[in-house]
Amino acid sequence: MNYVVGLDVGTRMTRALLLDLHGRVQARCQRETGARLETAAQAVLDELLQQQELKAEDIAYIASTGYGRYRVPFRQTQITEMTCHAVGALWLFAGTRTVLDIGAMNSRALRVAESGRVVAFRMNDRCASGAGRFLERVARSLEVELEQIGELSLRSQDPQPISSICAVLAESEVINHVTAGKAVEDILRGAHNSIAERLVALVRQVGAQPEITLTGGVTKNAGMVRALEERLGVRLNVSVHSEYAGALGAALLARQRWQRLQNSTGSAPQRQAAARNPGTLEAKEESHGHRDDAGRGCCVECLGGHGSCHSAVGARPGPPTDSVSQIGGKGKAGG
């Protein structure tokens, strides 16, 4: 039992990340979630095991997060997305004080303390026009591969405005631009700008402080990163692990939980039995009353705190070189 796993079951993608008990990333994988959440979770776990030639008995602890976190039958605990993304972002960039998580169906801005605790948050969960699913619809309307839209948008010479706050109506605007003969690059840049405006509003509402770290699958989209940086006037933290931040945070907290169990009273067999009994663990969390900032699930303090995690999990990318005087001010983004 030398590894822990974090599973992030999202609306579009399910991601898994494997850590050893020293906090080092050993493997990661993802697949589309689909309609069968349990199947998706099992599939990514099986792929992790296959990659590292491991058996199920080698996994000490599994924590799930994401909207489908309750549908992972083999988990030991479930943790809210906000807590996991905050912890994952802090591991990737230790100076993180604001997290912008851009998901497929909703996006959220978090202001976090140095300990990893979420102190303020705002969500855009009423309409997909502020999240990744809207970009998928735009790509489909323009007959462009989703992976290409970010780079194409950067070639724009005349961005076309998209003003609708509804994803369906915004898609109609895209079609109107196509009918008017506007360039695909200009339409795509307009779509990215439209989403960026909504996301920047979320960031400002939480009283954003530097550094700002992006998480979620949209972080691979260079056009989205550029649009956000131009409007915020700061350089944003983006890592190769950013899309796995939720799974990473879940794995880090799983590791802390396992260490707590190992240090608790009782024999080794009793501790291992407790670790493999999700009902017992979740009941124990309820008994001491700790909840996260949204009033759901486990908080960072409940899971062992984050203060000692930085030195234990190895090196992370350094902070941006830009100095930031005011979030959201005008100016050219660095990088």
CA distances from 41 to 13, 71, 72 (A): 10, 8, 6
Quick: pLDDT tens for 61-108: 999 999 999 999 999 999 999 999 999 999 999 999 999 999 888 899
Span 292-308, mean pLDDT? 36
Quick: pLDDT tens for 158-206: 999 987 767 677 778 889 999 999 999 999 999 999 899 989 999 999 9
Contact 3, 252 (CB under 8 A): no
Termini Cα distance of the chain? 43
Instruction: Enumerate domains of the chain plus CATH numbers.
Output: 3-85+244-304 (3.30.420.40), 94-238 (3.30.420.40)
Distance CA 1, CA 15 (A): 21
Q: Which residue has the tokens 């992030």?
A: 8
Nearest to 18, CA basis, from 237, 243, 256, 244: 244
Distance CA 134, CA 138 (A): 6
Distance CA 277, CA 243 (A): 29
In DSSP notation, 86-137 reads: HHHHHHH-TT--EEEEE-SS-EEEEEE-TTS-EEEEEEE-S-GGGSHHHHHH
Predicted confidence band of residue 274 (pLDDT cuts 50, 70, 90): low
- Number of CB atoms found within 10 A of residue 73's CB: 10
Predicted confidence band of residue 133 (pLDDT cuts 50, 70, 90): confident
Confidence (pLDDT) at 165 = 66
φ, ψ at 282 (rounded to 5°) = -70, -35
